[in-house]
């Protein structure tokens, strides 16, 4: 049974049983405490927590997920994958334990001919929470399971909570017994790979508080609405139904594994380590493909870092399989073909996805080449010093700074006859992980608790009237001060105010929040920010300017009209620039993010190289031509599928409902899904002045523009500057570039003459410096300060000349100077000095320490520097002291 068929049977079954079928949300979640949709429940959290009323009593879905916390287990077990699909059925205060158990058992054990999954109940085991007698008894009542195949387990396996105050409850899990050839008897309690968990039924029935750990908390009582949250692993069902040993051999994953085998020229199943690598490649390629299809791009932080890590693990694994060259074109194409029936976007968006994939591979292959060079130097230095072990710090630097995998460091070091201090490396990695976890916990504590808005959201959605009106009459529904609900707020206080209606735009879709005021009987509030803390609820952060505001009072929101007008201009300008980019660069130049505020727009897009001046001018001209043409701007609210069929562009990773707002500028020329505010015709934008273009990652670029009056002011300022230059340089505007180039050439020639003069002046000091030599033991030493110097290179050149003048007996030269207001020390040693143990790198490092900086280098010549120029004489003395020690 194909993976897609299993998913369809699941959805068909629950649709027949009264469930609303909900499409998968993006892998990029809008939950601020998470990077990705890590579980099937994530899109439903507002409904499960009660923060937002559920729009349906029961639902079912096939949710795509990414989870990398067990990334080291990928390929080693039959079931661990970074990308997986979670089939789920949900009840929001509707059916509870009996319904969940009945549905699960019926679907699993009904014959395939009747639309079921056809499992033999003799192969199924069940676990329940050890104190959940109700679930235990329901399994006996509703099924023919013998009691010995219903096992009671503890909180660590059969109790669900988020680790935060809120909903929680016991679980019941269904396992498939793969048979004695896969492990020992004894059921899921043995925790053996023989028993594969295929379905988890979460009975969300309690409210918890005083959470001390995920499994240590106080139960406040039962939830007013008990929910069902279930998850059945699609890949796990697939490998069982397809008769293969693991998820990597299923129909959606195996094609990539086979291509990796073909490229490596090795046999799958012949070597355990190779098999793990093949499975890692198959899993990570699919995960990377799916992440990129949801708009994630490789980068050095956040979601992009996770994607980059997955892709680089593929390259590393292929390298360990003997393939050093590019492989992504073949591997990603195979994954696209395997996934396109279930997720057509991987084919329709293939040009953009493949562009990112191939660029990332090329970049990392260059990184590997550079890392190998650095590693070779470290290994050579270790050998030269008589060492046998590369330090953990050096291995960690390669990993953390250069992205060089530790596995390759170990492999190359072994080939060189050296070991790596793996314990020290692991310790540094552990410290880094601990810092990352602490940051994540802090973020989760700060952002995850939205329960304070639950009662307010239960009163209904905030009505936004700002598309048509700049004022709205309303009523105060709630007031929060420091996250706590209060009855009123007084002058000088900062508070959050929730209203039934508002004309003030909440920050979203790249557009910043409106400015304005809220007024009512006896009070005025200055609006500092407007946000959507939970879906459907708008919160106004305000400072009480005068009077006192209380819950239940009348309120009028008043938008700052000038600021809104300029923000509308900027947002509409962003759409025009996006269309102009696609006109100029092609359809792969898709939006990766934006920011719009009054008078300014910033637009990030997928592109792998800088734009030429000619291209930037062309984009700016196309956008301004659209302004000149006074194109009509229209908005429509329509079903999501219809909008997409009309070619509407969507921001990747943005969450859209069943109905969307589509903004057209000039009909289909610019057609995007957008909830922002816009002008009525393009001429209202006024002017778009492209002022910047830069890189924001290996495959993303950013353009910035001023809009409307701000654009005019910028051009006026440039005009005034050009006027000043024409006056000062006594040249007409068209001759300014040539005149400035002429001045630059003159300045460069003058600087060259000055440098030559200073170098000669230093060279003239050569005899005096050689004559100033003293002895420290058997070593001739010159340690002198030169005062100011043009460059460290000049000081280095003079030090080498002095060293030659001193002859063949042991000699050390240390010259100090101030270069660009910073002290520099150059140390040079000859062969005889080095033979007696004097090393320039060690001496320069010691001198630099006196200067408050650092340094080092080769044994024959080295450089140090710092910040304390007054300490230069002491630094030179330290060189003599080190030689005499």
Ramachandran category for residue 380: left, alpha or beta (phi over 0 → left; psi -120 to 50 → alpha): alpha
d(CA 534, CA 666): 34
Q: What's phi and psi for 91, nearest 5 deg? A: -130, 125
Q: What's phi and psi for 808, nearest 5 deg? A: -95, -15
Give the largest Cα separation in the chain, rounded.
105
Q: Is 284 annotated as a binding residue?
A: no
d(CA 34, CA 68): 12
DSSP code at position 846: H
Spacing of C-alpha 128 from chain mean position: 37
Q: What is the dihedral of CA 447, 453, 458, 463, to 10 degrees?
A: -90
SS3 string, 348-366, reads HCHHHHHHHHHHHHHHHHH
First and final C-alpha spacing in the chain = 80
Ramachandran category for residue 522: left, alpha or beta (phi over 0 → left; psi -120 to 50 → alpha): left
CA distances for 117 relative to 7, 106, 110, 202, 286, angstroms: 10, 9, 6, 21, 25
Contacts of 657 (CB under 8 A, 6+ apart): 640
Helix (H) or strand (E) holding 241: helix 234-241
d(CA 345, CA 27): 13
Q: Is 571 annotated as a binding residue?
A: yes
Q: Is 65 annotated as a binding residue?
A: no
d(CA 282, CA 625): 48
d(CA 415, CA 405): 16
Is residue 133 within 8 Å of residue 125, measured between CB atoms? Answer: no
Q: Which two tokens stand for residue 174?
A: 């269904």
d(CA 8, CA 12): 6
Is residue 192 within 8 Å of residue 184, measured between CB atoms? Answer: yes
Known binding-site residues for Zn(2+) equal 571, 575, 674, 678
Known binding-site residues equal 571, 575, 674, 678
């Amino acid at each position: 049974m194909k993976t897609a068929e299993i998913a369809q049977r699941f959805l068909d079954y629950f649709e027949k049983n009264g469930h609303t079928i909900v499409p998968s949300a993006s892998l990029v979640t809008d939950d601020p405490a998470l990077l990705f949709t890590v579980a099937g429940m994530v899109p439903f959290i507002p409904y499960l927590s009660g923060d937002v009323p559920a729009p349906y009593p029961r639902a079912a879905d096939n949710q795509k997920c990414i989870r990398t916390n067990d990334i080291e287990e990928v390929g080693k077990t039959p079931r661990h994958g970074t990308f997986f699909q979670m089939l789920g059925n949900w009840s929001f205060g509707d059916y509870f334990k009996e319904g969940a158990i009945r549905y699960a058992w019926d679907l699993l054990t009904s014959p395939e001919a009747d639309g079921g999954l056809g499992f033999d109940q003799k192969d199924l085991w069940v676990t329940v929470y050890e104190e959940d007698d109700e679930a235990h008894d329901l399994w006996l009542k509703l099924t023919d399971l013998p009691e010995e195949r219903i096992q009671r387990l503890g909180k660590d396996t059969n109790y669900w909570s988020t680790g935060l105050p809120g909903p929680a409850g016991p679980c019941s899990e269904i396992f498939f017994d793969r048979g004695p050839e896969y492990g020992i008897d004894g059921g899921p309690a043995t925790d053996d790979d023989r028993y594969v968990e295929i379905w988890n039924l979460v009975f969300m029935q309690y409210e918890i508080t005083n959470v001390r750990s995920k499994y240590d908390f106080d139960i406040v009582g039962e939830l007013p609405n008990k929910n069902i949250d279930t998850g059945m692993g699609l890949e796990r069902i697939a490998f069982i139904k397809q008769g293969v040993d693991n998820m990597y051999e299923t129909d959606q994953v195996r094609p990539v594994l086979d291509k990796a085998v073909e490229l490596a020229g090795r046999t799958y199943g012949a070597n355990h380590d190779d098999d793990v690598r093949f499975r890692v490649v198959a899993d990570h390629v699919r995960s990377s493909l799916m992440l990129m299809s949801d708009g994630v791009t490789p980068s050095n932080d956040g979601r992009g870092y996770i994607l980059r890590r997955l892709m680089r693990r593929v390259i590393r694994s292929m390298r360990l399989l003997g393939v050093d060259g590019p492989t992504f074109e073949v591997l990603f194409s195979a994954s696209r073909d395997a996934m396109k029936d279930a997720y057509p976007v991987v084919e329709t968006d293939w040009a953009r996805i493949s562009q990112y994939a191939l660029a990332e591979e090329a970049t990392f292959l260059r990184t590997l080449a550079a890392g190998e060079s650095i590693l070779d130097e470290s290994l050579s230095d270790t050998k030269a010093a008589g060492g046998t072990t590369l330090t953990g710090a050096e291995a960690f630097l390669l990993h953390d700074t250069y992205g060089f995998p530790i596995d390759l460091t170990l492999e190359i070091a072994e080939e060189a006859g050296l070991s790596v201090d793996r314990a020290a490396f692991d310790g540094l990695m552990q410290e880094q992980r601990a810092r990352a976890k602490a940051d994540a916990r802090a973020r989760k504590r700060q952002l995850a608790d939205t329960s304070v808005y639950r009662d307010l959201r239960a009163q209904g959605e905030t009505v936004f009237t700002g598309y048509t009106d700049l004022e709205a009459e309303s009523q105060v529904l709630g007031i929060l001060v420091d996250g706590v609900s209060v009855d009123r707020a007084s002058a000088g206080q900062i508070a959050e105010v929730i209203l039934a209606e508002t004309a003030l735009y909440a920050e979203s879709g790249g557009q910043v929040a409106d400015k304005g005021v809220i007024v009512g009987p006896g009070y005025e509030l200055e609006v500092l920010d407007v946000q959507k803390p939970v879906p459907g609820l708008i919160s106004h952060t305000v400072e009480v300017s005068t009077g006192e505001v209380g819950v239940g009072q009348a309120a009028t929101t008043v938008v700052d009209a000038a600021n809104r007008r300029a923000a509308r201009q900027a947002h509409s300008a962003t759409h025009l620039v996006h269309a102009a980019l696609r006109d100029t660069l092609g359809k792969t130049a898709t939006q990766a993010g934006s920011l719009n505020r009054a008078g300014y727009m910033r637009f990030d897009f997928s592109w792998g190289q800088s734009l030429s001046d000619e291209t930037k001018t062309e984009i700016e001209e196309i956008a301004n031509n659209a302004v000149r043409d006074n194109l009509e701007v229209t908005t429509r609210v329509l079903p999501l599928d219809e909008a997409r069929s009309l070619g509407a562009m969507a921001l990747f990773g943005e969450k859209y409902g069943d109905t969307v707002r589509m903004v057209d500028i000039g009909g289909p020329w610019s057609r995007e899904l957008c909830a922002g505010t816009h002008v009525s015709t393009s001429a209202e934008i006024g002017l778009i002045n492209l002022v910047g273009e830069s890189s924001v990652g290996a495959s993303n670029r950013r353009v910035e523009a001023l809009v409307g009056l701000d654009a005019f002011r910028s051009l006026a300022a440039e005009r005034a500057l050009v006027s000043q230059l024409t006056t000062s340089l006594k040249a007409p505007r068209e001759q300014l570039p040539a005149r400035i180039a002429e001045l630059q050439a003159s300045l460069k020639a003058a600087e060259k003459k000055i440098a030559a003069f200073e170098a000669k002046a230093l060279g003239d000091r050569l005899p005096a410096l050689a004559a100033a030599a003293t002895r420290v033991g058997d070593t001739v030493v010159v340690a002198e300060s030169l005062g100011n110097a043009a460059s460290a290179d000049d000081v280095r050149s003079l030090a080498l000349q002095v060293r030659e003048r001193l002859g063949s007996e042991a000699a050390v030269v240390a010259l100090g100077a101030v270069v660009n207001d910073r002290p520099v020390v150059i140390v040079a040693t000859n062969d005889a000095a080095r033979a007696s143990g004097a090393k320039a790198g060690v001496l320069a490092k010691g001198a630099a320490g006196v200067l408050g900086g650092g340094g080092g280098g080769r044994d024959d010549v080295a450089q140090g520097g710092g910040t304390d120029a007054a300490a230069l004489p002491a630094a030179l003395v330290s060189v003599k002291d080190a030689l005499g020690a």
